[in-house]
Amino acid sequence: NAGVTQTPKFQVLKTGQSMTLQCAQDMNHEYMSWYRQDPGMGLRLIHYSVGAGITDQGEVPNGYNVSRSTTEDFPLRLLSAAPSQTSVYFCASSYSGYGVTEAFFGQGTRLTVV
Amino acid sequence: KQEVTQIPAALSVPEGENLVLNCSFTDSAIYNLQWFRQDPGKGLTSLLLIQSSQREQTSGRLNASLDKSSGRSTLYIAASQPGDSATYLCAAVRGRSNYKLTFGKGTLLTVNP
């Protein structure tokens, strides 16, 4: 049981480059989210999705794009990387129905922008 | 806007000690509160989830409580072990929007042999 899988685990980008962080879940969860974790700031919500074709902005969305074409996948795109986007990125998924609504997290992608 | 605070930021205890980690939140209209463990350089592992209708949850040596009226949750760890050393995070969910977790900054726990 894979749960939430993020790729890559590590990435170094040059300023201005673009890349896509991949996130996939195999639990048939409707809800998926992206967070970034920075020292002294905790985890902050970037974008989220409540189902295929539906996305919305979180607390820190600038510089990031998302789309959700399938229930399983929720990629995060950096169009023009900046040093301020150096961070650890976590993808999460959760069940949208009634009952236990535990959030499950991937292992993270550590991104450095130089 | 929900704000979540965890005190203390760091805690060092000898092995075998019972300890309590604190989490406070400003908006009592929470749907659930979840405790996570994070090892250095790793992802988040869910420990316990307390729904708003519950007052506590237990898993092995861990017990989490929730008091919505006072805006507080505590994580009790019994008979601590060096393997418990990690950062512990709490996160609150407002309403049923469990795609939006509001996190505290965590408590770094060190259990010394």
> pLDDT digit string (tens) for A31-61?
999 999 999 888 999 999 999 999 999 999 9
**Cα of A43 to nearest chain B Cα, Å:** 6
- Which chain A residues contact residue B98 at CB under 8 A? 31, 94-95, 101, 103
Q: Mark yes or no for CB contact B98/A106 under 8 Å.
A: no
Is B52's pLDDT higher than 90?
Answer: no
Q: What is the pLDDT of residue A24?
A: 98
CA A16 – CA A27 distance, rounded (Å): 35
Q: What pairs with residue B73 in β-bridges? A: B23, B66
CA A88 – CA A42 distance, rounded (Å): 11
Mutation target vs A (from B3, B36, B98, B100; most A CBs, 10 A cutoff): B98
Beta carbons of B11 and B106 less than 8 angstroms apart: no
CA A41 – CA B56 distance, rounded (Å): 28
pLDDT digits (tens, 9 = 90+) for B62-93: 999 999 999 999 999 999 999 999 999 999 98
Question: Once rounded to an integer, what is the mean pLDDT over residues B8-16?
Answer: 96
- Cα-Cα-Cα-Cα dihedral sign, residues A70, A34, A104, B67: negative
Tell me what the pLDDT averaged over chain B comes to: 93
Is A77's pLDDT higher than 90?
Answer: yes
Coil, strand or helix at A31: strand
